[in-house]
Structure 1
Amino acid sequence: MDSNKAEEVEFTGIAASPGIAHGPVSLLREKKISVPKYKVSSDRLESETERFESALLATRMQIQAIRDEVQASLGEDEARIFDAHLLVLEDQALIGETIREMESSVENVESCVWRVGNRYIEAFGQIDDEYLRERASDLRDVLRRLISNLTGQSLENADRLSDKHVVVAHDIAPSDSAMIDKNHLLGLATDAGGKTSHTVIVARSMNIPAVVGLGNVSEQIKPDDIVLVDGFEGRVVVNPSDATLYRYGKIKDEHASITKRLIALSQNVSQTKDGHPIQLMANIESEHEAKRAIDIGADGIGLFRTEYLFLNSKVLPTEDQQYEAYKNTVETMNGLPVVIRTFDLGGDKISNIPELGMIGESNPFLGYRAIRYCLDNAEFFTTQLRAILRASAHGDIRIMYPMISGAAELEQANEYLEIAKDQLRGEGIPFNENLSAGSMIEIPSAATACDTLVAGSSFFSIGSNDLIQYLIAVDRLNDRVAHLYEPTHPAVIRTLAQVVKAGREGDREVSICGEMAGDPVLVPMLIGLGIESLSIAPGLLPNVKFVVQSMTLKEAKDLAEMALSDSDSTTIYGNLLVFYEERMASLY
């Protein structure tokens, strides 16, 4: 035994992002920022307010830049983390209270905003709800950046990862975690934080093992220590012994074997144990992701988000540029269907293209977006429809209209589609005359009156994310209420059943996309309700397909009946979780 080897110490925290990582430690110390405090004369209060407004603007621009970078590297869902930060900078209560604090104390703005901000942080930290407590970290991140812009102090940390390390810190601000070089990051371990912290969300999206809520691990670790992170059980082992490394090596191999088996099984036909076929499609954001969908065993593309063409450009993409992107995608899918969602961009994700004429809105989810924008901009909409139609000559392409609220909008959209078809016929350009056009059911009015949409729709696709937040009046980006977002709320389940019933009576296929479709715990219930096509993120497909293959249609229907008859969302989810865990147990 090596007498010079440091003693093994184990810490227990919260398993936040699955996986096992092992390597040298990199201690991330938050750079200290000083907050000046001094009296200002009453005639300078106006200039202090102007400094405050300038700093708010600068901070907003910095966070928007971080959001754009995360969107490009990790995707839109992860980028939305920073929408909450942007909302803090528009919080009139916080801004107004800071100005009143300046007027009453006659002190500089840095001192006042720091004092007011920390009152909010303290209040959040005392809330019982874990999700709301975690928002204190987001507010603190924004507050530090605001003080930095007011004082000119840099927040940049000199300690950059130059090699592969496990990062250990008291806490990691979301903006810092998003900017860490994934190529040099093995795992994360923090004293603070919970499963719902934005740093954890970023770690999960990057497939980085993470354990949080460790207490004081950052104070116990030395720069030359070796650290093992167990993101499955929530343990961190400092200077693990050879026996510990061997044991965790076996655990890592076991999980890798399960993942490998799931991927292998994902190449099998997607059907239940009793032979009932279920289509498992992939969600993609660009033509380049189509190959991954094929590799992972997807039955097609159920949601092609076309916004990336507009978010990643400073000028409007031409019809030819759009056509090439859609054509390349459908050719990659080699005969499998590709459902293209028409332009769905609004005040919640503003493009850099001035010609679109989009501005930020106070309530973007209820604003000027998606089909509303398209119907109001005929030339823009027709250009996209022409590009999609032209690409349909190369494979099985289908069109899907987002945010349809009723039959009148659907009729207008279809009229534009016919205009585009007439133009192409006149120009002698080939396209699929029988191309299918469907409606996204993501607004309560469409769900309630979906029988009126049957005549104008070739199919229905339920957009679960927006439908849930509209049904139960929960803004997923509002940190104070996002914890109320419940996919197993009885209203949600009954609405899904209603849409399926209307589709079945009208002989229209009903699919579902969004987070519900990719949650293997919820999938059996969805199938039991009568949904036979799900569109999910490619990385989630192997697990979902395994669950489908591990159950019978009767079991799925029994779960759906249970969910429809129960009034408690927690009980419903608990029953679904038990069923899921029983299926997964066969893999171990």
Structure 2
Amino acid sequence: MEPTDKQESVFEGIAASPGIAHGQAFLLTHREITVPEYSISADKIDAEVDRLDNAIVKTRQQIQKIQNEIRGTIGEDEARIFDAHLLVLEDQALIGEAIRDMQTELSNIESSIWKIGHRYVEAFAQIDDEYLKERASDIRDVMRRLLSNLTGEQLQHLGEFVNNKVLVAHDVTPSDSASMDQANLLGIVTDAGSKTSHAVIVARSMNIPAVVGLGDITSKINQNAVILVDGYDGKVVVNPSEATLFRYGKLKDKKRSLEKRMIEYSKEASATRDGHPVKLMANIEKADEAERALELGADGIGLFRSEYLFMNTHKLPTEEEQFQAYRKAVEKMNGLSVTIRTLDLGGDKVFDSSEVSMYRESNPFLGYRAVRFCLDHENVFKAQLRAILRASAFGDVRIMYPMISGALELSQCNALLETTKNELRTEGIAFDEKIKTGAMIEIPSAAIAADTLVEGSDFFSIGTNDLIQYLIAVDRLNDRVAHLYEPTHPAVVRTLNMIVEAARKGKIGVSICGEVAGDPVMVPLLVGLGMECLSMSSTLLPNVKFVVQNMDMSEAKAIAKMALEETDGSVILEHLLDFYTSRMDQLY
């Protein structure tokens, strides 16, 4: 029953993004492109295909622009969402079927694209699998953009009409995420969607409360109705009473208080209750992010992703431009260490320039990337090494090589570094003669042969994002199998232990800079295995530090022992969740 103006109604959906929002609803109803339908003659078929090709090129450029905006404002993982959209444009089954329909029916290409695209959307929407259902949203979003470019009808985006309200819609497309603004979008409520919805992932990154999967909520909320969004428990309250508003106001204050207390904890030393130090560092992409990392209690920068100096330009950054960026980050950290990862282009990070050659590959994540690219372009690599070495004269800088597969690559990188050092000495340019270098362990071959990498390394840094997906053959960006991505898989736990043991025997440091490092649930396992340093997004530091400060090393070691003996990853995760809940209960 549709709620009256005075009646409070509660609807339950999926808690997709935590937080509480209260305000007027903006009901988003019809945004479909008007698709013309008319007959064409056979001699117009080639012209229609040309129109489609041009529209595909334009659509690809628009998606890549959105991807770069998301990468710059929110983060790399959120930007990868749009890889799926680019793949839709290259799907020869879908595009080819639309062209064949146009040729058979002698209809304009827009009508064929709409018909075939709609068929694919409906097919995916009917699949009884949460991850596959979400692909319907991807296809719908790409088709709308493609049809917009074919018809010339302008697309509207959230930023154009949501003004300090709660968005209520059937679904929110990933493209909409580019125009999301935390300043004027209070919350999100949708009929469809799940926790893995692409727009929801972005909403979580921007701290916008969201409840999705409500079925038909759009038919039960009037335009400008007053609603309350509970992103913690997945509830939407329409026309909330004074008592409900009071109760949620207290809850919101409590949550804010907890967040503030965690930030207060982050100002204290990062050590377990029994005094075992655990360094907590920040992952950054820009020098300006160093300041925020310090504010949230970072012990240094564990990962400076240097490739972002290359990503939003068609021209190679000069040695001087790189030096200034590295120096700025080093100086902002006030003597704390800054670990700069050398260029990790390739995979999903393609540099488009006439100055270097990067080709489209069928499997780019296993292809021409990172040190493979750098060792093949010594002029590019050397310019970066010179810039990093020059910056090391201004603070504690460390160099980290990504995607090392074995001792030969590591020795080649170190040899080029020595050559670069000699050049700087000859030129009389200052740098840290004792600068430390390390290998990223993110390929199974490097993990298995970690003992052979000790001699050429001052430290190891484990990149779990790639390591886990390579170990258990799960592409975490492929929604069909992403649910199989399991950081607590026994193979992962034992591999991490093996790397730590190799580092310990070689008397070098070991840290972890993948996503699991910022997961507070995983903290006791990682610390118990012997990780000396965890590096993560700055916003995650307070929560992780709270867990570190509220456990004993003996507890962490007991959890690690259990995990190494257990054969079921879900059991390991259950133990970790129980431990985390017990620590959070203390905070409450």
**Which TM-score tier does this pair reach, normalised by the shorter chain?**
over 0.9
Alignment of 1:472-487 (within 5 A): 472-487=472-487
Deviation digits for residues 420-449 of structure 1, max 9, x if unmatched? 100111111111111100000111111111
The aligned residue for residue 93 of structure 2 is 93
Q: Which residue matches 2:20?
A: 20
1:522–1:348 CA distance, 2 compared to 1 (3 A): same
Equivalent position of 1:504 in the other structure: 504
Structure 1 residue 158: Cα displacement: 9.0
Q: Retained in 1: the 8 A contact 2:158–2:180?
A: no
CA shift at 1:554, angstroms?
1.9
| 3-state SS, counterpart of residue 336 of structure 1 | coil
| Worse overlay, 417-426 or 306-315 | 306-315
Asked if 1:294 corresponds to 2:273, the answer is no
CA–CA distance in 1 between the matches of 2:262 and 2:381?
41
Does residue 559 of the first structure (1) align with residue 532 of the second (2)?
no
- The aligned residue for residue 224 of structure 1 is 224
State the Cα distance separating 1:42 from its structure 2 match.
4.1
What is residue 160 of structure 1 aligned with on the other side?
A: 160
| Separation of aligned partners in 2, 1:195 and 1:201 | 7
CA positional deviation for 1:106: 4.2
Q: Secondary structure at the match of 1:517?
A: helix
What is the distance in 2 between the residues matched to 1:499 and 1:94? Answer: 45
SS at match of 2:22: strand
Deviation at 1:105, TM superposition (A): 4.1
**Alpha carbons 1:347, 1:359 under 8 Å: kept:** no
Partners in 1 of 2:586 and 2:300 — Cα distance?
A: 28
The aligned runs of 1:66-465 (5 Å cut-off) are 66-156=66-156, 160-161=160-161, 163-465=163-465
- Which residue does the alignment assign to 1:582? 582
Structure 2 contact 280–535 (Cα < 8 Å) conserved: yes
The alignment partner of 1:303 has SS state of strand
- Looking at structure 2, the residues matched to 386 and 32 of structure 1 have their Cα atoms a distance apart, in angstroms, of 53
Give the SS at the match of 1:227.
strand
Paired letter, 2:247: R
RMSD: 1.9
TM-score (normalizing by structure 2): 0.95
| Matches of 1:191 and 1:61, distance apart in 2 | 30
The separation in 1 between residues aligned to 2:158 and 2:232, in whole angstroms, is 31
Contact 2:285 2:304 in 1 (8 A): yes
Structure 2 unmatched runs, 5+:
none
* Code of the aligned partner of 1:375: L
Distance apart, 1:384 and its partner CA: 0.8
SS at match of 1:80: helix
Distance change >3 Å, CA 490–CA 101, structure 1 → 2: farther
Q: Could you tell which deviates more after superposition, 305-314 or 107-116? A: 107-116
Q: Is the 8 A contact 1:348 1:360 kept in 2?
A: no
Determine the C-alpha separation between the residues in 1 that align with 2:158 and 2:76. 29
- CA-to-aligned-CA distance 1:494-515 (integer Å, 9 cap, x gap): 2111111111111111110111
How far did 1:10 drift? 1.7
Cα displacement string for residues 154-185 of structure 1 (whole angstroms, at most 9, x for unaligned residues): 22259824641111111111101321333211
AA at the equivalent of 2:517: A
Matches within 5 A, 1:491-570: 491-570=491-570
- Deviation larger for 98-107 or 545-554: 98-107
Question: Could you tell me which amino acid in structure 1 is paired with residue 557 of structure 2?
Answer: K
8 Å CA contact 1:513–1:535 kept in 2: the answer is: yes
Which shifted more, 495-504 or 249-258?
495-504
Displacement of 1:527 in angstroms is: 1.2
Percentage of pairs with the same residue: 62
Quick one: distance in 2 between partners of 1:435 and 1:351?
28
Question: Which letter maps to 1:59?
Answer: T
Counterparts of 2:46 and 2:574, CA distance in 1: 56
In 1: Cα distance, 2:572 partner to 2:133 partner = 26
Query: How far apart are the structure 2 equivalents of 1:249 and 1:84?
Result: 39
Task: Measure how far apart 1:7 and its partner are.
Answer: 2.5
Deviation digits for residues 317-340 of structure 1, max 9, x if unmatched?
222221121112112111111101
Q: CA deviation at 1:298?
A: 0.8
Paired letter, 1:429? I
* Worse-matched range after superposition: 554-563 or 296-305: 554-563
SS in 2 for 1:10: strand
- Once the two structures are superposed, residues 97-143 of structure 1 have per-residue CA deviations (whole angstroms, 9 ceiling, x without a partner) of 33343444444333333333233323322333312221211111112
Within 1, Cα distance between the matches of 2:568 and 2:458? 35
Mapped partners of 1:158, 1:263: distance in 2: 32
| In 1: Cα distance, 2:184 partner to 2:450 partner | 50
For these two proteins, the number of residue pairs brought into alignment is 585
What 5-or-longer segments of structure 1 have no aligned partner? none
For 1:396 and 1:556, locate their aligned partners in 2 and report how far apart those are by CA, in whole Å: 30
SS, match of residue 422 in structure 2: helix
Report the Cα offset of residue 360 of structure 1: 3.4
Change (3 A) 1:82 1:480: same
